[in-house]
Chain A
């Protein structure tokens, strides 16, 4: 939630949805009245104790929160430096942080009287989380997923089907996450009366970046309370991976006004100097897409590139607008980690801690592996372990040249 302090990093967005020069509402006119309705409903809901209570009740009883802040002793010992904690979002129901946001948004959808849910998905984690809350609330669910992603994430596709969702393959454009988002927006424009669009990350037109962040702030709020209990003080550093950036903003936001070093890790694919990566801040420029102004990967003519990352969840040519702003003002440092480094981190974490991390989260681990050895033992790092890696075993096996 936004801060009341005047000099706060937590005051955004302004009433038109801007974080500095980023954010805004760049959508088709047909959607604008609906976007205003979402904003109005959200503003009422966030001040309604009954809404908050139902949200937190579901997070506790259904999602399984609070999840632990776990001291990764073996990683700490192995790396020989900073003390490493994992915020265990991968232990949530459905196996990632995505469910926090879906619970919040379906409550909003019901509050608005909407009866049909749509979503976009890349790796399928947000699609599964959306299909899950739709099953729980008895609402029909349509998930748009790139034809290419359907091919590489078959288990999640079948999960969504079992949960009762209709998965529609997207064959337009590059057949990946950005095209799924285009297709979901086309559906929404065509079904404004009854449909609510559950956007999976802290991006899109205002008020989505704000409300997704607020729903995900449970990550950072819990981590703050837990580290104070365990260590009696705040951490020195926070680390999380960013694609759209919802798990990162959820972890970071409650600490923005504190003396804490904050690092976000972008997916560098084959490297930020190649044309195959997904690091919009390291390798992109400001532009306008999918309802907001933010850093984008694009050519000189403003045509959007297809992103690349070994992790389908980070495979998006943009990033949430609040991250663009935090990058702009220098409050958060954004660093790239490539496919190879993420794969090594994936294996190390699995072997040392007995935790198979999502390839997305493995990007954060890879950066922790770089920074921890350079830091003293009393330096505390809290890292967001955003999801579990069961979904990625086929991709990893393939990359390691093993048949399963």
Chain B
């Protein structure tokens, strides 16, 4: 499984002639139980790939929404081991939806890279996005991950030229995550044209699937980006719904899970309704 599950999912999307919806939530936000219920509900609501955030005390590439989600999860004593356990429970019912862990390197480094890869694969995790591991540090995790068939999703950004793209793709796998803005998650709204131009440029270099994310928040926006990308990532807008449905002690109200999933359902209509050239 692992990398294969991601590749199969993109093959399926190709036959359906549409872009995939990638949804981000932070593991353990606002608490482990609620978070697991959301996770289990995501594929049914239309998520094609799940990005699961590993909480970190210092998420320096994230905007306020995902920073606060991390803080809520850590307040609830979330740990990397519990995140892996969540995925293990999810996998009891779902063998086909890829799960990508997203976060920062330190918790993995402290856990131990080899032990982490072993435990993550056994739990049913398929890929990793580690924001503070650029290709210059591929020997840390990307190369060990490659050896065990764990997907290592690398990021490209508006500051990436073709020469650098080749460096990025050297040990990247699964798909390329194109960061639509020079900035942090959930803040500035990206313009369509420069993103489309960047993807066109990259496609001349590589045929790896290309996902776009950062600042994409509405079903309408998702539809526009789904016209020319292989997958669209939505994170902060989903996390905001969690924030708006908890009390001061981070206790979820009875509507939270339903509201998150019905929003994902709307986002899914976005990828399905996109008018594509192919």
Give the interface of A toward B (CB within 8 A): 16, 24-34, 172-173, 178-179, 181-182, 185-186, 189-193, 285-291, 293, 296, 298, 300-304
Contact = CB atoms under 8 A, between A and B. Distances in A.
Nearest to A300: B110
26 contacts: A25-B134, A26-B105, A26-B133, A26-B134, A28-B61, A28-B155, A29-B154, A29-B159, A29-B179, A32-B134, A32-B136, A173-B71, A181-B60, A186-B61, A186-B63, A286-B109, A287-B109, A288-B109, A289-B58, A293-B109, A296-B106, A301-B107, A302-B56, A302-B108, A303-B57, A303-B74
A29 B109 contact: no
Interface string B134-148: 111100000000000
A287 B106 contact: yes
B218 interface: no
B164 A33 contact: yes
B192 to A, nearest CB: 19
Contact of B111 (A16, A29, A291, A302): A302
Interface of B: 55-61, 63-64, 67, 71, 74, 79-81, 104-111, 131-137, 154-161, 164, 168, 179, 181-184, 187-188
A368 B168 CA distance: 50
A166 B157 CA distance: 28
Contact of B110 (A24, A193, A291, A298): A298
Contact of A30 (B74, B107, B157): B157
A288 B132 contact: yes
A122 to B, nearest CB: 15
Contacts of A291: 132
Contacts, number: 120
Contact of B80 (A24, A31, A302, A304): A302
A77 B277 CA distance: 86
A30 B159 contact: yes
A190 B110 contact: no
A291 B61 CA distance: 12
A189 B168 contact: no
B237 to A, nearest CB: 19
A179 B71 CA distance: 13
B263 to A, nearest CB: 25
B57 A16 contact: no
Contacts of A186: 60-61, 63, 184
